[in-house]
Amino acid sequence: MLRGVIAELIDKLPAKTHADKDYLACGVLTLRPIRGLFVSTTHRGGLVHITVIGLGHTGLVAAAVFAEAGHQVIGHDIESEKCAIIRRGNSPFHEPGLEDIIGRVVRSGLLVIADNLEESLAQAEVIFLAVGTPAANGDSPNLAEFWSAVGQVVPAAPENAVLAIKSTLPVGITDELISRFKSIWPGEAPVVVVPEFLRQGSAVADFRRPDRVVLGSHSPEALATVRRVYDLFDLPAEVFHECTPMAAELIKHATNCFLATKISFANELANLCGHLGVDYEVIRRGLAADTRIGAGFMHAGLGFGGSCFPKDVAALIETGRMAECRLTLLETALVANRAQVKRVVNLTRDMLGELEGKKILQLGLTYKPGTDDIRGSLSLELAFLLSRAGADLTCYDPAYHPTTVGSDNLFDLTDDPLAAAVGAELILIATDWPQFGDLPWPEIAKSMSAANLLDGRNMLDPHKLTAAGFTYRGIGR
């Protein structure tokens, strides 16, 4: 009778989503206090108690979407301000759709943020480690934060918990981790490498419906446990790829290195087109029609940036060096990429002459559209290069946070691109935010002292821009 009364009350509650009511309807929940945290100890079929360590662009998306699916998730991060933002139901960074999910799962109690690491691990069946491995000198990854987190998590984890590694590690590091802790794991280590393949700007959709889930482990039991986490996503069997930890690490790096190399090839070809007087976009479309090549990552621009591609290319090059197997193709792709942004500066000089005192409006600072992330942003590097060359530079980005740019007064930031265009001698598109295509270009051209436009992402129609009064130049067009 009591269950029936509770079920009727739950059905009448103004819960905003099915997930909210689903969480409440787990039966008569037993709430166990863990030093101020209250989490469900009720198990339903398929549900897993998950802890996510590191709530950055990878970890927070994982935590939120796992909770949305119905798992009980506890998140932990060493940044207290970030944790406070998430507890309020907000996202500490821009990612389309993420904040809405966070709000719902925090309200429902399916996502709880813990300040204390040991508290966050107390009931964990699977611990997803998603701490950063940022680029250090030479773009190779800095593993200090990773090893620090591992050193705290492994000894404190419940006996049967599985450690699922989402941090991007150089090839072979997981086997080194297992070797370091063989006294804790005398048998097959309950460690699974679960590399992420999320694209910032579409990370939520990518996580909900992945094209692959790579699981690298020496332990069949650990693999089975992590597979349970994904049961609620109802994914087809062919999505899952089980392998060794080293193979999983290599799949991750090889993916990013292949895409980075494709970008460098596209830019090299576009540069050739520029010298030959051929429109690269015509060439690109002809190549993209070949299903063996495809359209992805064939757009010319500033090169590959962000927090992953440069670091992962450098890491795999280093792996090859240590294995005495030089990866000359990747070395060349990295060299070409570093030169590309300087080529764009030279294109600016071709249009304006010397840049000292020239008034330029740059559109875009983030490394790609759909995110506020400026880590490894070539758009930001371009702004610094132009400023140091003496340009009077103003920058606009729809998602920039002025406090994170760190321009050191080298250039101005604006939230009104139309006003900033008045009197400018050149507009340079550095990040291909789609809203830039909707700007009133004829009106802007009339307001400039010289209507020059350098399309660093080939996102605009040159014929329309020419008709609007601009002298247009793109990458290889």
Give the three-class secondary structure for 41.
coil
Q: How many residues does the chain have?
A: 477
Contact between residue 452 and residue 358 where contact means Cβ atoms under 8 Å apart: no
- Token digits of residue 476: 């290889």
Backbone phi and psi for residue 307, each to the nearest 5 degrees, phi listed first: -90, -5
Active site residues: 308
Contact between residue 104 and residue 279 where contact means Cβ atoms under 8 Å apart: no
DSSP 101-144: HHHHHHHHTSEEE-SSHHHHHTT-SEEEE-----B-GGG-B--H
Give the three-class secondary structure for 151.
helix
State the Cα angle at 159 between 156 and 161, rounded to 5°: 85
How many alpha carbons fall within 13 Å on the CB side of residue 70?
Answer: 21
Contact between residue 375 and residue 307 where contact means Cβ atoms under 8 Å apart: yes
CA distance 279 to 462: 11
Give the three-class secondary structure for 3.
helix
Residue of 201, 55, 202 lying closest to 128 (CA atoms): 55
Across 54-198, the runs of DSSP E, i.e. the strands, are 72-76, 111-113, 126-129, 162-165, 191-193
Across 55-181, the runs of DSSP E, i.e. the strands, are 72-76, 111-113, 126-129, 162-165
How far the first Cα of the chain sits from its last, in Å, is 74
